[in-house]
């Protein structure tokens, strides 16, 4: 539920600007190539992906010596 304090602001909706009004001239739209950079994923935990990859390689190396026996099927 919308707080009564902000109800009028919500009901006004998103502001609409003409292509060449004062606001649009001072604040031009960002081009898509620059805007896409904002939403690029980033590595929040530096080195985490490398550590996971190293652990995966070590696990595969340890398991490669194990003889693989197919599981028995249930009747």
Q: Cβ(20)–Cβ(26) under 8 Å? A: no
Which tens digits make up the pLDDT trace of 47-61?
A: 888 999 999 988 888
Which tens digits make up the pLDDT trace of 16-75?
A: 888 888 888 888 888 887 877 777 777 778 888 899 999 998 888 877 666 666 667 766
34-39, Cβ contacts within 8 angstroms, sequence gap of 24 or more: none
Residue whose C-alpha is closest to residue 43's, from 52, 30, 55, 35: 52
User: What does each C-alpha distance from 33 to 28, 42, 43 come to in angstroms?
Assistant: 14, 17, 20
pLDDT, residue 30, reads 82
Q: How far apart are CA 51 and CA 34, in angstroms?
A: 31
């Amino acid at each position: 539920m919308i707080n009564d304090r902000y109800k009028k602001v919500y009901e006004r909706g998103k502001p609409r600007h003409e292509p060449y009004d004062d606001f649009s001239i001072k604040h031009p739209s960002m081009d898509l190539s620059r805007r896409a950079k904002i939403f690029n994923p980033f590595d929040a935990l530096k080195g985490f992906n490398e550590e996971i990859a190293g652990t995966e390689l070590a696990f595969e190396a340890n398991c490669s010596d194990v003889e693989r026996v197919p599981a028995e099927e249930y009747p």
